Amino acid sequence: MTTATLESTVLDAVEHRLFIGGEWVDAEGGRTLAVEDPATGRTIKEIADASPADGIRALDAAAAAQDEWAATAPRARGELLRRAFDLLQERKEEFALLMTLEMGKPLAEARGEVAYGGEFLRWFSEEAVRITGRYGLNPEGTGRMIVSQRPVGPSFFITPWNFPLAMATRKIAPALAAGCTVVIKPPALTPLTTIAFVQLLEEAGLPKGVVNVIPTSTSSKVSGPIIEDPRLRKLSFTGSTEVGRALMKQAATGILRTSMELGGNAPFVVFGDADLDKAVEGALVAKFRNIGQACTAANRFIVHESVAEEFANRVAERVKAMKVGRGTEEGVNIGPLIDDKAVESTDALVQDAVSRGASVLTGGTRIVDGDGTFYAPTVLAGVAAGSRLLAEEIFGPVLGITTFADEDEAVRLANDTEYGLISYVFTQDLARGHRMIERLATGMMGLNTGLVSNAAAPFGGVKQSGIGREGGLEGIHEYLDTKYTLIPVD
């Protein structure tokens, strides 16, 4: 089978309609939206474009299915997720190719996302049967207390374009395990992987109405009525802090339970005693994974002045060797950015840093040879205080280095941001590593590693990087309400 034939086969297998109440249906008025390959700029599929009325129909279906799904045995809920996990493993190559086609990431990284996204299905298939409570005599001896957990209820998910499978499974899996029904609005830029995953859930035995999917080009118009509806009890969003703040204001009207995984501005701190081999490898992963388009991407490289030049040169040498191209091509390390707006934003940050004195060690320009939205992987040294690169989330393949003299300065620079999602620290001093765990104001930290995400760990941030946690033991509790009952002692 030729590459073109394989791509067509994978794309043709993806439904083009909305999924509401267990049925694949056209959008109101037959509206459609085009999905493009960012590496070529060409449309790869036309799919249904949900209207506000379609969104309410999806919530109708989720609300109607809620009581029955909540009453379904935890083991049955878990086994559905396990069947979905097994099916995903059988089709991992198809899902990886689909993600590369609609999002642009190299195929090897897409395979990694399939593995990572699948783990949420496996993890929460096991957590479904571990929802527990408490029973015991109260301190006064006048009654017995029962503390139980019950599903929050119908949940609405708004997912981002950069990890189209993992962001869907990370939200859907704990919701289903807890007994909640779902309406999910995948991103207009990369909706195909989520649709394909819902098709897989349907094959695994998903009951009608338990998961509903409504891709749309008019996100706020479709989301607003759903969030305002009193039947909705949970909102989970992954995306920018600006949008998250607006959604929280909307959610306040109905006092919704919310989970917000928002922007990041991750510091990557390299101390003078760091193992530079590990630090360089960690930098390449933390910065250039997913073409730098990740909320966990290292944003500010804060390197001790004694090793800054060597670190910069070694990183630049590796980055110069990176192959840029369509993610389906052999050996490609850097695919396209998601669209022209992303390229323009990335270049503006680079030019601002250069205008303030930063040196370009490699890259620093848009790649205009051919189609697609490509930006050269870039390393900047001597990024000055006040540069936008240090204050704004980059979301592109740009690594900017600034220096520090001592530990207190490193902590001050690392914490000098409104965000607090993740930090990375490289040091061989165990005591210093423990101090950094305590001193850095982030919800997650990688100590001598550039990759921390794991389905068994709680993912989330502090400050303006969000509230709530996804994954880990904590993840399922985002979809459970606690109920206390007192039984008097006669």
pLDDT tens-place string over residues 348-379 = 999 999 999 999 999 999 998 778 999 999 99
- The average pLDDT across 144-164 equals 98
Tens digits of per-residue pLDDT, 87-110?
A: 999 999 999 999 999 999 999 999
Three-state DSSP class for residue 19: strand
- According to the model, what pLDDT value does residue 235 have? 98
Beta bridge partners of 211: 182
Count CB-CB contacts under 10 A for residue 46: 11
Three-state DSSP class for residue 477: helix
Statement: residue 152 has pLDDT above 80: yes
* Structural contact between residues 383 and 351, judged by C-beta atoms closer than 8 angstroms: no
Those residues whose C-beta lies under 8 Å from the C-beta of residue 80, and which sit 6 or more positions away, are 125, 176, 201, 204, 205, 206
The DSSP line for 142-199 is SEEEEEEEEE---EEEE--SSSTTHHHHHHHHHHHHHT--EEEE--SSS-HHHHHHHH
Selecting among 102, 127, 295, 478, the annotated active-site residue is 295
Q: Which helix (H) or strand (E) holds 486?
A: strand 480-488
- According to the model, what pLDDT value does residue 368 have? 81
Statement: residue 1 has pLDDT above 90: no
The pLDDT mean for the chain works out to 97
Tokens representing 276 are 């530079």
Active-site residue 180, yes or no? Answer: no
Statement: residue 225 has pLDDT above 90: yes
Tens digits of per-residue pLDDT, 458-470?
A: 999 999 999 999 9
- According to the model, what pLDDT value does residue 490 have? 83
Statement: residue 253 has pLDDT above 90: yes
Rounded distance between C-alpha atoms, residue 183 and residue 66, angstroms: 12
Burial 97-132 (b: 16+ CB within 10 A, else e): bbbbbbbbbbbebbbbbbebbbbbbbbbbebbeebe
> What's the CA angle centered on 205, arms 6 and 482, to 5 degrees?
120
In eight-state DSSP terms, residue 327 is T
Cα distances (Å, whole numbers) of residue 215 to 9, 59, 485 = 21, 14, 41
Statement: residue 397 has pLDDT above 90: yes
Q: Which helix (H) or strand (E) holds 362?
A: strand 359-362
- According to the model, what pLDDT value does residue 14 have? 98
Tens digits of per-residue pLDDT, 54-88?
A: 999 999 999 999 999 999 999 999 999 999 999 99
Percent of the chain having pLDDT more than 70?
Answer: 100
Statement: residue 2 has pLDDT above 90: no
E strands present in 162-296: 182-185, 211-213, 234-238, 257-261, 266-270
With tokens 């995903």, the residue in question is 88
Rounded distance between C-alpha atoms, residue 140 and residue 80, angstroms: 44
- The average pLDDT across 253-266 equals 97
Selecting among 119, 261, 393, 478, the annotated active-site residue is 261
Active-site residue 79, yes or no? Answer: no
- According to the model, what pLDDT value does residue 430 have? 96
> What's the CA angle centered on 102, arms 96 and 105, to 5 degrees?
60
- According to the model, what pLDDT value does residue 370 have? 78
- The average pLDDT across 412-430 equals 98
108 in the Ramachandran plot: left (φ > 0), alpha (ψ -120 to 50) or beta? alpha
**Count of CA atoms in the C-beta half-sphere (13 A) of 317:** 8
**How would residue 4 be classed by pLDDT, with cut points 50, 70 and 90?**
confident
Statement: residue 447 has pLDDT above 90: yes
Statement: residue 192 has pLDDT above 80: yes
Statement: residue 339 has pLDDT above 90: yes
